[in-house]
Amino acid sequence: MVRRLIFIHGWASFPEIWRGQKEYFSKYYEVILPDISGARDIKEAAELVNNFIKDRKDFVLIGWSLGWLAILELLKSLLYEAEPRMLPKGLVAINSTPRFIDDGYLGAGPAKGHLAKMMRDCKRNPQEVFEDFYKSLLSDIGKTMLSSIKLKDSDYDKLIYGLYILRDCDYRDFLKEIHIPTLLISGANDTICPQEATAYMRKRIEGSQLKILNSGHIPFVERAEEFNSLVEDFVKGLQ
């Protein structure tokens, strides 16, 4: 029986982005929201999540974008441990990729040069990069979210760490090692982590389910009711 849902946020984001999910699911489950915004590399991000599951069981890991990469890194360590611990009951990947940079494996998504420009711009003016990112998600939603997030200078400094993570991580070969029930959710209008990336994972994660919502990069905000229902049905199916 699933008792806990662990939601892991993405780049340029914080646990508060899951406010709607916490309100919805906390009536039935313990909702845990790790903060990986300060992680300097993917191993540190995975360890921050690991700190919340060490003494817990009966949980589902739910990752959005970069948060999914942290889950994949954590799974690698859990699966390859000499003394395996309790694995998650299920996984949910939201608008995610196994490899953020498209080196030709998708034919869609950000190219290396695009991310390199973001990194240069982030070093020069991180606030502008942050604001442009949210404005590009979907105009009204992005602007609303931007107005509700107040960052300190130290938070802007952390943005570059996430870009390095997105540049360097590659879990394409690891996907076939996943034998845990997995729900893949993609936004039909997402230009950051395109549908092709989700379809790629669907073919390589045995038994995974793929659901597409009429949204951009943040379906859990843009289509909150549909998103929550998808996750709820998936979790109930694990009982």
Q: Give the confidence band of 147 by pLDDT, cuts at 50, 70, 90.
A: low
> How far is the C-alpha of 212 from the C-alpha of 188, rounded, in Å?
6
Q: How many CB atoms lie within 10 A of CB 233?
A: 12
Instruction: Among 34-48, 124-138, 154-168, name the most confident range.
Output: 34-48
**Mean pLDDT value across the chain:** 89
143 pLDDT more than 60: no
What whole-number percentage of the chain has pLDDT above 70?
Answer: 90
Q: Give the confidence band of 211 by pLDDT, cuts at 50, 70, 90.
A: very high
Higher pLDDT, 17 or 29: 29
| Mean pLDDT for the stretch of residues 64-74 | 97
8-12, 70-74, 109-113, 177-181: segment of lowest average pLDDT: 109-113
| Mean pLDDT for the stretch of residues 134-146 | 62
Higher pLDDT, 63 or 145: 63
Q: What is the CA radius of gyration of the chain?
A: 17
Q: Give the confidence band of 84 by pLDDT, cuts at 50, 70, 90.
A: low
142 pLDDT more than 60: no
| Strand order across the beta sheet in which 209-213 lies | 30-32, 4-8, 59-64, 90-94, 182-187, 209-213
Q: HSE of 28 in the Cβ direction (CA atoms, 13 Å)? A: 14
130-139, 154-163, 199-208: segment of lowest average pLDDT: 130-139
- Cα 50 off chain centre by: 15
> Domains along the chain?
4-236 (3.40.50.1820)
Which of these, 4, 62, 42, lies nearest to 220 by C-alpha position? 62
| Mean pLDDT for the stretch of residues 10-29 | 94
Which of these, 127, 115, 133, 135, lies nearest to 155 by C-alpha position? 127
> Do β-strands 59-64 and 4-8 pair in parallel, antiparallel, or remain unpaired?
parallel
> How far is the C-alpha of 71 from the C-alpha of 184, rounded, in Å?
13
pTM: 0.92
